[in-house]
Amino acid sequence: MKRGFAILVSLCALAIVAYFTMSEWAIRHETLTFYDASRDNRPVAVDIAVRWDKEMQAKRRHDQAAGGGPQPRQTLSNSPSTLSWRTSCMRGFMAISIQHDLPTDARW
């Protein structure tokens, strides 16, 4: 009984560690700001999330790895650790989220 319980707890702990490894620690987050010269140097902030191993794999192979998935972000805060980000990254996608609005933009 005790042994079974210990095995169950160990498996649960292992699953939790594996989940966090895949969804949090194995994902590299980066925020870049590009400036569009054709639009008065408009800043376009881009959040990028990609799995380390997939990135390494893509660099090593020098071929086209998983497709990029820009997620047009309209008004969300600047945190890339949301659900669809994690899900996409865990599946090996490079997730790109673009901040479209600037404080100076006209309201619709």
Partner 1 sequence: MHDGDQSRRTLCRRLPQIQRGIANIRFAVSEMKNVQTQRDYDHLTMVGHSMGGDISMYFAKMYPDQIKKLVTLDNLRVPFMTDGKFKILSFRSKDPVFKTDPGVLPEEEVREEGGITVVHTGFQHNDMRDSGPIKPRRRSRTCWANSSSTRARSNQSRPNATCTDRSGPGRALRASQELTSRRSKSRSLRTREGPALLSSIDRPLIPTHIRLAAILRALMSGEPTNPKSAGDVTSAQKAGSGKAGSLPETKPSASEDIAAFVAKARAMSPNTAGAKGRLVFALDATMSRQPTWEYGLCAAGGHVSRGGSAGQS
Closest to partner 1 by CB, 26 or 82: 82
Pair of tokens at residue 95 = 């997730």
Closest to partner 1 by CB, 3 or 59: 59
Q: How far is the CB of 53 from partner 1 (least distance, A)?
A: 14
Closest to partner 1 by CB, 3 or 61: 61
**Nearest one of 65, 44, 63 to 54, comparing CA atoms:** 65
The Cα 97–Cα 80 span in angstroms is 8
Mention every residue, 6+ apart, whose C-beta is less than 8 A from residue 7: none
The residue ranges that bind partner 1 (CB under 8 A) are 32, 34, 36, 38-39, 44, 46, 48, 50, 55, 58-59, 61-79, 81-88, 90-91, 93-94, 96, 98, 100-103, 105-108
